[in-house]
Amino acid sequence: MSGSGILGSGYEFKAFKYSSHYWILKLLEPETKPVKILDVGTASGYLGQILSGQSHYVAGVEKDALTAERAKHSYSSFWLTDIETFEFPFRQEFDYILFADVLEHLRDPEAVLRRCIPALKESGKIIISVPNVANFIVRLSLLAGKFDYGDRGILDRTHLRFFTLRSLKTMMNEVSCSVLGVIPTPLPMQIVFPFTENKFFAPLHEAFYLLTRIWKTVFAYQFVIVAAPGQPGSFLEPEHEKLTERILTNS
């Protein structure tokens, strides 16, 4: 989880297959030539380190001073600032802007998205990952009369905004962006039950991911979306949607 700056070092890189970080890197994998990427909410800089190691130009924005100190060495340029008030002093500079597990921690994510859009090149895209508050675990908890916050997960106590797939698409529509592709991530059993990282449990993870893809609004733990400024509600680039599906199929 990248984080919004209020996370400190509580979130780390999710290296297992089908996590949000796995898909973000997969979406950027076709970029064989160096591109310019702005990572908003860097946390300790694990995404920046990987992407910089692939020869991309990566800039970072982070609020928390302690994690920023760890992260800044992995970025070509770095801003220690409050994301909520950051003015994004760029014009048509970046090919991608990443919000990896960040928007749910912001008071006004729509305002932040609107401010970041001018920083994108004409062909630029935004990659976002957010938790799915309509996940079946939360639904079952509500049926039992529970809505309990925790240190991590969908009901992380630092989350200020909650998203379903519909509300996420609505937000992107409101900031005049088109959603080009949606990738659901399964419940991270490797975090909840670390022993399932054993290869013996690989078929279980594959089966659960298949279920997540079939019924993503209920079983998705997170949504990873690719979006671009343009006519709201339209798919500007069908070839990018096909790319997303090809990444899903070949994963």
Which pLDDT score, from 0 to 100, does residue 242 have? 54
Which pLDDT score, from 0 to 100, does residue 234 have? 46
Q: Where are the domains of the chain?
A: 20-245
Between CA 199 and CA 17 the distance in angstroms is 12
Which pLDDT score, from 0 to 100, does residue 251 have? 55
Which pLDDT score, from 0 to 100, does residue 248 have? 56
Say whether domain 20-245 belongs to CATH 3.40.50.150: yes
Give CA angle at 68 (64, 73), nearest 5°. Answer: 175
Which pLDDT score, from 0 to 100, does residue 203 have? 82
The model carries a pTM of: 0.88
Q: Mean pLDDT of residues grouped by 10 in the chain (251 residues)?
A: 42 80 95 97 94 97 94 96 96 97 96 98 96 95 91 89 96 94 89 76 84 94 94 48 56 55
Which pLDDT score, from 0 to 100, does residue 240 have? 47
* Other residues' Cβ atoms within 10 Å of the Cβ of residue 108: 12
Find tokens 């079952």 and name the residue: 140
Which pLDDT score, from 0 to 100, does residue 231 have? 57
